[in-house]
Every structure is written in C-alpha cells, then in structure tokens.
C-alpha cells in the first residue's frame, strides 16, 4: 500500500542526494539534541536490502526489530547496527508495523492482508487475528479493514489495534485475543479519526492515537473515553512513549504536510517531536523539508527509543518518494539519532 495519499506533483527535490558533510550532524534543541549516526542505519549483509523499513521496535535486551519490505521482513539488530537474526520470510503480504509486548513477544501488523499476528521473540507464531486477505467492509467498524499498528498495555497485557486505513476504529483485546470493545468513527471531531495510524499507551494506561490526516494526537482513557488532543503538528504518523524512569516522554514522527509547490518550506515536517505526557513540546529534530541530505527525513513511519535514549526512525521512503522517481530507486529508510548527554 502506498503510504502517501496526497496527489502531489513531485518535481522533486527528492533528487537531492546526501552531501558530504564534515564533522557530526546534530539535530534537535535544548536538552534534546542528537548526533545522526550515518545516513542509512543498519549493516546489511551483501545482497540484502530494506527496500523500505516501515516500523521499528526495541525489546528488553536492546535488540532492534526492523520490519521492512525487502529481503527479509523482520531483521533483528544490536544497537551498533549488526544483524543478530532474521525471520518472517514468506509470511507477510505488506509489512506495516511491529510492537514489542510483554515477555518480548512481537506483534506484527500486515496491512496487505488485514491481519495482526503475535510471535515469540525468535519468530514462532502464537496467534493470528483476522482472516488473511478477507478484510471487513470499509468503514464498517468491524475488525480489520487495512489495520496499521498495535499498542500493548504493559500493566494488563491487553492490547489495542489501530484499524486505520479503511476503518476509523480502535479495537481493544484481552491478552489472549478476545475483542472487548471498539471505538471511533470517521471525521475531524473529538474521538473521530482520519487514518488511525499509530497507537501507544503510557504506564497509567492512557491511550495515545496518532490521528495522521487530522494532524494531531488524541488521548483516551483505557475505556475509550476522549480526554484531550494535541495540535500544532504536521501529519502525526508514528508515536512511541519512553517509560524509563519516573518521567515519560512521547516521541512523535511527523510526515511532510506541505504541497509540491511548497516543497522547500520549513517546519512543515518531516520531523520528530518530543513531548511530555501532558502535551508540552520539549524539543524537535528536523527543520528542513524532505530529502536525503544528513539531518533531513522522508516519512517517519515508525519510531522507538532504546535504553540509552537513542532514537530509531523507520521511514517509508520508497512508497512516498523513491517509487515516484524516474527511474525509481531505493532511498534511505532507517536512521539512528544518538542522544547527546
């Protein structure tokens, strides 16, 4: 599925290639500054390719799971970018999102066949929700119609599915996969959605929704009651809550929200924004428009943070940009931002 849904005329600043830069590239501001670790993170063996990394997650051992549409759909790296293992060959129609749950179990959302699967850390299938290639009718409210992401409440093991591309719903499940209830409908009002793209929970059980095409994050109670929303965002696509320590920090990956004729506009995304759980903006990484130069992003589609505070960003650069180039080409799709203390 093509992630971009704007009919932009790309004339294409995408043809900008990474320039040679002397010295480290620093992103961010204030207490949230990061050194960019290379131009395409992860050392792939010869003959392997990402095509594009769609999602990234970290487990309790600081292993980095990169869900991608290339040679092997799930590649597990150490924090230095070396491959530890891989799995998932022949399983997925269109890898979209990965989430690490309790006991390092791995939830994978496949929006190509409208399923959610749960695996052990080494790729043994534990559960499948949805019948492959038989999505529910569009906007029916029934699971699933091109789902997007999973969040797990680590207090209870209950989990939420963002059913976002052809539905406008969030579904809540028991740990063993029994549907408890659903909420949401199409629209721009409170509790309504225009692509429920990512979902996340904090340590108190509040549910945060990256409501992408409404350019906002919405916050709900664990029973689906609307609480508040955060605006002044670009197209909020990815969300991750770092719950290490007493404080929690919310990382939001945002797409470019301009149009083709304004592709050199600044502060329109793509970027990464950091908030506290009350919605106060703490810092941002990314000021310029999309591009391959160090310090820019394409389309932050997945985001996670390891135990050192380093940020990993997966970008759907092929779907949104590379596939539209003449000739088409694979672009950078994984970046690591190393926290500067």
Tell me the C-alpha distance between 325 and 310, whole Å: 31
Residues 6+ apart with CB under 8 A from 243: 154, 202, 203
Q: What integer is the mean pLDDT of 187-216?
A: 98
Which pLDDT band holds residue 19 (cuts at 50, 70, 90)? low
Question: The tokens of 75 are what?
Answer: 């590649």
Return mean pLDDT, the chain. 93
Over residues 190-203, the mean pLDDT reads: 98
Residue 333 in tokens:
């799709």
Domains and CATH numbers, the chain: 21-339 (2.120.10.30)
Q: Nearest Cα to 274, choosing from 264, 284, 266, 265? A: 284
Q: Are strands 179-183 and 169-173 parallel, antiparallel or unpaired?
A: antiparallel
| Over residues 79-91, mean pLDDT | 98
Q: Please report the pLDDT score of residue 341 as a whole number.
A: 87
Largest CA distance in the chain: 54
36 pLDDT band (50/70/90 cuts)?
Answer: very high
User: Mean pLDDT across the stretch 159-164?
Assistant: 97
Q: Name the pLDDT band for 22 (thresholds 50, 70, 90).
A: low
Share of the chain above pLDDT 70, in %: 94
Per the CB < 8 A criterion, the answer to whether 56 and 334 are in contact is: yes
Q: What is the pTM for the complete model shown? A: 0.95
Rg (CA), the chain: 18
Instruction: Over range 297-321, report the average pLDDT.
Output: 97
Strand partners, 28: 33
pLDDT class for 7, splitting at 50, 70, 90? very low
Q: For the residues 247-268, what does the mean pLDDT come to?
A: 94
Closest CA to 300 of 251, 266, 242: 251
pLDDT tens string 217-253: 999 999 999 999 999 999 999 999 999 888 999 999 9
What does the pLDDT look like over 275-308, one tens digit per residue?
A: 999 999 999 999 999 999 989 999 999 999 999 9
With beta carbons less than 8 A apart as the criterion, state whether 13 and 290 touch. Answer: yes
Please name the helix (run of DSSP H) or strand (run of DSSP E) that holds residue 126, with its range, or none: strand 125-129
What's the residue count for the chain? 341
183 touches 198 (CB < 8 A): no
């Amino acid at each position: 599925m093509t992630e971009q849904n704007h009919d932009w005329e790309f004339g294409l600043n995408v043809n900008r290639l990474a320039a040679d830069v002397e010295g480290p590239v620093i992103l961010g501001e204030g207490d949230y500054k990061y050194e960019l670790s290379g131009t395409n993170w992860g050392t792939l063996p010869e003959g392997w390719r990402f095509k594009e990394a769609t999602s990234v997650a970290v487990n309790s051992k600081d292993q980095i799971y990169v869900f991608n549409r290339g040679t092997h759909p799930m590649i597990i790296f150490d924090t230095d970018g070396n491959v530890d293992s891989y799995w998932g060959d022949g399983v997925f129609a269109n890898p979209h999102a990965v989430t690490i749950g309790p006991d390092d179990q791995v939830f994978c959302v496949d929006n190509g066949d409208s399923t959610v699967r749960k695996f052990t850390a080494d790729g043994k299938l534990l559960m499948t929700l949805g019948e492959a290639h038989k999505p529910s009718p569009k906007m029916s409210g029934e699971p699933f119609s091109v789902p997007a992401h999973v969040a797990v409440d680590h207090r209870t093991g209950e989990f939420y599915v963002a059913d976002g591309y052809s539905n406008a719903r969030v579904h809540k499940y028991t740990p063993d996969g029994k549907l408890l209830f659903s909420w949401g409908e199409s629209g721009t009002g409170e509790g309504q959605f225009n692509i429920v793209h990512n979902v996340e929970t904090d340590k108190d059980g509040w549910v945060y929704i990256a409501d992408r095409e409404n350019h906002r994050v919405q916050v709900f109670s664990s029973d689906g009651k609307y609480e508040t929303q955060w605006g002044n965002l670009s197209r909020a696509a990815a969300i991750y809550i770092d719950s290490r320590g007493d404080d929690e920090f919310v990382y939001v990956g945002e797409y470019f929200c301009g149009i083709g004729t304004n592709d050199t506009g600044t502060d329109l995304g793509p970027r990464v924004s950091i908030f506290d759980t009350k919605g106060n903006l703490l810092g941002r990484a990314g000021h310029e428009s999309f591009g391959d130069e160090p310090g820019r992003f394409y389309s932050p589609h997945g985001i996670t943070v390891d135990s050192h505070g380093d940020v990993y960003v997966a970008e759907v650069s092929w779907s949104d940009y590379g596939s539209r180039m003449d000739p088409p080409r694979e672009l950078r799709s994984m970046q690591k931002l190393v926290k500067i203390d």
